[in-house]
Amino acid sequence: MKHFLTIADYSKDELMHIISLAKKIKKETKSGIYKKYMPNKTLAMIFTKSSTRTRVSFETGIYQLGGTGLFLSSNDIQLGRGEPVEDTSKVISSMTDMIMIRNDSQKELEQFAKVSSVPVINGLTDKFHPVQLMADYLTICEYGLEKNLKVAYIGDGNNMASSWAMLASKMGFELNIASPVGYEVSKDILDLCDKFSKISRAKIVQTNDPQKASENCNVITTDTWVSMGQEQEKQKRLKDFQGFMVDTNMMNKASKDAIFLHCLPAYRDLEVSLEVFEKYDKVIFDEAENRLHIQKAIMVYLDKNR
């Protein structure tokens, strides 16, 4: 049985297989065919943090596949009152067919998955957001940019940046990550990516220079400077991230066919200028919609591999 906790656990072939499956399922859905790949299956969705896209895409996705989604806010279940993660996992996995979790600890997610009798999917943790990256890669493929792909991630070395590094190291593309001093991707994650990059021939560079990082890239991306749970650091972060807004000047450094991606929610005139956001609004919302299609593919894949 496989889980979907981090891209590190998947080979390039497996990731590409899921991308192809998503393309097929998207095509079917777009032509009004809702194939019931998971009839009568239940997906439990545990959230300890807010969400718009992840919740709506997983819930809608499982319905479209013929199953049922159970939304479980940690405030409403005993997990929020201190019931051990392992007990929660044993109980929920004994009654449902698949579990998605959004929390603030990759470690806890892994503890949960270890004792779960059904596949567990990472819907964002402190460390990674793998389902988002799969949607991003699907979008890149749809825009025909996967060959000679060169991505610049500008901003916080957070769960999104680490996931970009993980994806690049598996898929074998070039990635420049530009973050302010003190906000770089953690060394242990970069070391693990280096190991994968030796096989895939990916080239990952961490720098503090966003202008240089953007040069000749065909995808520029960023994420909020203040992730969920960091609200008290907001003022300091806004100061520390000066010079890291993706604006037209930065986009002009990229290649002519470059697109801009954002996982959303986006804060205009902070991590991205209003002008850039509006210019790339089509691709950004295609990217958001792709959460639905890729996650349906991930669920079908995990269900088949049980």
Chain residues that interact with ligand CP, rule: CB under 6 A: 51-54, 124, 132, 263-264
Choose, by CB under 6 A, the member of 48, 227, 290, 295 that binds ligand NVA: 227
Residues in CB range of 106: below 8 A, 6 or more apart: 5, 6, 122, 125, 126, 127, 128
CB atoms < 10 A from the CB of 297, how many? 24
Shortest distance, position 263 Cβ to ligand CP, whole Å: 4
**Residues 234-263 as x/- pattern, contact with ligand NVA by CB under 6 A:** -----------------------------x
CA 134 to chain centre: 6
Under the criterion CB under 6 A, does residue 174 sit at the interface with ligand NVA?
Answer: no
139 binds, among ligand CP, ligand NVA, none (CB under 5 to 8 A by kind): none
CB nearer to ligand CP: give 154 or 202: 154
The residue at minimum Cβ distance from ligand NVA is 227
Decide whether 218 or 227 has the Cβ nearer to ligand NVA: 227
List the catalytic residues.
102, 129, 132, 223, 263, 291
Residues 217 and 261: beta-carbon distance below 8 Å = no
- Contacted entry of ligand NVA, ligand CP, none for residue 136, CB cut-off 5 to 8 Å set by kind: none
Return the residues of window 120-149 that contact ligand NVA according to CB under 6 A: 124
Cβ distance to ligand CP smaller for residue 217 or 292: 292
Residue whose CB is less far from ligand NVA, 160 or 302: 160
- Interacting partner of 224 out of ligand CP, ligand NVA, none (Cβ under 5 to 8 A depending on kind): ligand NVA
Q: Tell me how many residues contact ligand NVA (CB under 6 A).
A: 9
d(C-alpha 299, C-alpha 301), whole Å? 5
Examine residue 265 and say whether the peptide bond preceding it is cis (omega within 30 degrees of 0): yes
| 52 touches, from ligand CP, ligand NVA, none (C-beta below 5 to 8 Å by class) | ligand CP
Is 158 a binder of ligand NVA (CB under 6 A)?
A: yes
Residue 57, interface with ligand NVA (CB under 6 A)?
Answer: no
* Rounded Cα–Cα distance for residues 72 and 8 (Å): 27
Q: Does 271 bind ligand NVA (CB under 6 A)?
A: no
> Which stretches of the chain bind ligand NVA, using CB under 6 A?
124, 158-160, 223-224, 227-228, 263
